[in-house]
Chains A and B, each alone.
Chain A
Amino acid sequence: MAASSRAQVLRLYRALLRESQRFSGYNYRTYAIRRIRDAFRENKNIKDSEEIEELVNKAKANLEIIHRQVTIGQLYSTEKLVIESPGNT
């Protein structure tokens, strides 16, 4: 199995962020985006291909979790929080 290329990892990163933007819940949305950015930044210098493969698999699994939870969130969405109204931050 070919090792994950830089392009692949970046594609995964963008897919994760794009999916996370769709969370209707403020706290989940902000957490997911923040956590994904920080996790990718933290691991950006990993060189060992096995480790990279493991991380990529974890990221793929998380992408699926996010996708499912985003969908559920949209089915059961509620009002926006006070902190989300413009001019309140």
Chain B
Amino acid sequence: MDPRVLDSMLPYLMSYYGNPHSRTHAYGWESEAAMEKARQQVADLIGADHREIIFTSGATESNNMAIKGVARFYKSRKKHIITTQTEHKCVLDSCRSLETEGFRVTYLPVKRNGLIDLKELEAALQPDTSLVSVMTVNNEIGVKQPIHDIGEICRAHKVFFHTDAAQAVGKIPMDVNDMKIDLMSISGHKIYGPKGVGAIYVRRRPRVRLEPLQSGGGQERGLRSGTVPTPLAVGLGAACEVAQQEMEYDHKRISQLAERLVTKIMNEVPDVVMNGDREHRYPGCINLSFAYVEGESLLMALKDVALSSGSACTSASLEPSYVLRAIGTDEDLAHSSIRFGIGRFTTEEEVDYTVQKCIHHVKRLREMSPLWEMVQDGIDLKSIKWTQH
């Protein structure tokens, strides 16, 4: 978390402990004021009105609310949803659960560079499509989808457009009116805020209706019942405000560090592939595949650096990333991929250290690899028959 965020939260974890929904005493009023200030801070970051921001427990909940909520509300007339194959697990899973309820879902494929084909999106739209859900920045390969264009298409066809902007909000400029976004998921801990809080933007004009997931006392305009966790909401608000102030500075710096990392590695080590479009991306999320090296072994060797071979939400599974599979990465290259995350607090020293260790271990692991030996001898691995019969 950013120290400025923690600083803003602490009073609400200690002295200002009132329930923001208690209308009858000062404890409640001051908590409510803080919550509403935070709401405005979130709204300001994305160009929305404060009445369009609902606090949730995180982007996963926001995604669930958007997809299931909209689909179910309009189910009497609309039974079709469109999303992509590279969405976050919670989006894909929500869609799958809707399929068991009788909805039809189109999972759009992506091109080799990770971007969707706009013509395919338009062709997939049907008269009974209620929602299109496409994430702004992918959490595994960092690719940035053409949100402006998707918004245009959806608006023209009067279909609601939801975007999971967890990795984009506060890092690249987002404006819900500019981009014609109707629903947006926001995550606190992706922008140096606390874990356990997020928000969902729900457009009021034209009104987007959704069936609430969580029933109860009607908090958050009836869309998300439950006591709003004031300290966490305050943290999210502060994180958004800081992100807005620091966006340009951070983006410039992170781009430089990312360039440094990729250039240094690729100059020293051959057969490294960057997954995802080189241009349409967020620089702070880099996914590289090191041919002829097993990804998990490399990660083990680099254990004093916080890296991953997929993303936190899929780290328990042994399967290679479905995102890499969707962009057409070969099975063996998918197993050899590492995701490097660079952020506001990353130092040049950390980048250099990681690069140095990475180069060292890639070379070491390749020395040990019989596949690498064969490649050096000029053998085409694809031509090998691995079994006798």
Q: Which of A28, A66, A69 contacts B345 (CB 8 A)?
A: A28
Among A1-9, A10-18, A46-54, A81-89, the stretch in contact with B: A81-89
Closest to A68 in B: B7
A30 within 8 A of B: yes
In the complex the two chains form, is A27's CB within 8 Å of B249's CB?
no
In the complex the two chains form, is B345's CB within 8 Å of A89's CB?
no
B278 within 8 A of A: no
CB-CB under 8 A from B350, the residues of chain A are: 83
In the complex the two chains form, is B7's CB within 8 Å of A89's CB?
no
In the complex the two chains form, is B352's CB within 8 Å of A65's CB?
no
Q: Which of A28, A38, A89 contacts B353 (CB 8 A)?
A: A89
A31 within 8 A of B: yes
Measured CB to CB, the closest approach of chain A to B142, in angstroms, equals 21
CB-CB under 8 A from B349, the residues of chain A are: 83, 89
In the complex the two chains form, is A31's CB within 8 Å of B249's CB?
no
How long is the Cα–Cα vector from A28 to B192 in the complex, in angstroms? Answer: 12
Measured CB to CB, the closest approach of chain A to B121, in angstroms, equals 40
How long is the Cα–Cα vector from A4 to B304 in the complex, in angstroms? Answer: 46
In the complex the two chains form, is A83's CB within 8 Å of B6's CB?
no
In the complex the two chains form, is B352's CB within 8 Å of A27's CB?
no
Interface residue count for B (Cβ, 8 Å)?
15
Measured CB to CB, the closest approach of chain A to B256, in angstroms, equals 13
How long is the Cα–Cα vector from A40 to B347 in the complex, in angstroms? Answer: 19
The proximity string for A residues 51-76 relative to B, scoring 1 for CB distances below 8 Å and 0 otherwise, is: 00000000000000110110010000
CB-CB under 8 A from B353, the residues of chain A are: 82-83, 88-89
CB-CB under 8 A from A89, the residues of chain B are: 349, 352-353
Most chain A beta carbons < 10 A, residue from B3, B7, B353: B3
How long is the Cα–Cα vector from A35 to B344 in the complex, in angstroms? Answer: 10
Q: Which of B3, B10, B249, B352 contacts A38 (CB 8 A)?
A: B249
How long is the Cα–Cα vector from A65 to B347 in the complex, in angstroms? Answer: 22
In the complex the two chains form, is A31's CB within 8 Å of B344's CB?
yes
In the complex the two chains form, is A82's CB within 8 Å of B304's CB?
yes
How long is the Cα–Cα vector from A72 to B7 in the complex, in angstroms? Answer: 10
Interface residues of A: mostly helix, strand, loop or mixed? helix
In the complex the two chains form, is B7's CB within 8 Å of A27's CB?
no
In the complex the two chains form, is A31's CB within 8 Å of B6's CB?
no
B111 within 8 A of A: no
B4 within 8 A of A: yes
Interface residues of B: mostly helix, strand, loop or mixed? helix
In the complex the two chains form, is B3's CB within 8 Å of A66's CB?
yes
Measured CB to CB, the closest approach of chain A to B189, in angstroms, equals 15
CB-CB under 8 A from B7, the residues of chain A are: 65, 68-69
How long is the Cα–Cα vector from A73 to B352 in the complex, in angstroms? Answer: 26
The proximity string for B residues 1-44 relative to A, scoring 1 for CB distances below 8 Å and 0 otherwise, is: 00110110010000000000000000000000000000000000
| Given A65-B3, A69-B3: A31 in contact with B352 (beta carbons within 8 A) | no
How long is the Cα–Cα vector from A21 to B319 in the complex, in angstroms? Answer: 44
CB-CB under 8 A from A31, the residues of chain B are: 344-345
How long is the Cα–Cα vector from A53 to B349 in the complex, in angstroms? Answer: 35
Measured CB to CB, the closest approach of chain A to B5, in angstroms, equals 10
Measured CB to CB, the closest approach of chain B to A56, in angstroms, equals 17
Closest to B3 in A: A69
How long is the Cα–Cα vector from A88 to B249 in the complex, in angstroms? Answer: 28
In the complex the two chains form, is B4's CB within 8 Å of A65's CB?
yes
CB-CB under 8 A from A82, the residues of chain B are: 304, 353
| Given A68-B7, A69-B3, A89-B352: A30 in contact with B347 (beta carbons within 8 A) | yes
Measured CB to CB, the closest approach of chain A to B339, in angstroms, equals 19
Measured CB to CB, the closest approach of chain B to A48, in angstroms, equals 20
| Given A65-B3, A83-B353: A27 in contact with B304 (beta carbons within 8 A) | no
Within B312-357, which residues are at the interface with A (CB < 8 Å)?
344-347, 349-350, 352-353
Closest to B346 in A: A27
Given contacts A83-B350, A89-B353, 14 further A-B contacts (CB under 8 A): A28-B3, A28-B345, A30-B345, A31-B344, A31-B345, A32-B3, A35-B249, A38-B249, A65-B3, A69-B6, A69-B7, A72-B6, A72-B10, A83-B349
Interface residues of B (CB under 8 A from A): 3-4, 6-7, 10, 249, 304, 344-347, 349-350, 352-353
Sorted nearest first, the 3 A-B pairs with minimum C-beta distance are A27-B345, A69-B3, A82-B304
Interface residues of A (CB under 8 A from B): 26-28, 30-32, 35, 38, 65-66, 68-69, 72, 82-83, 88-89
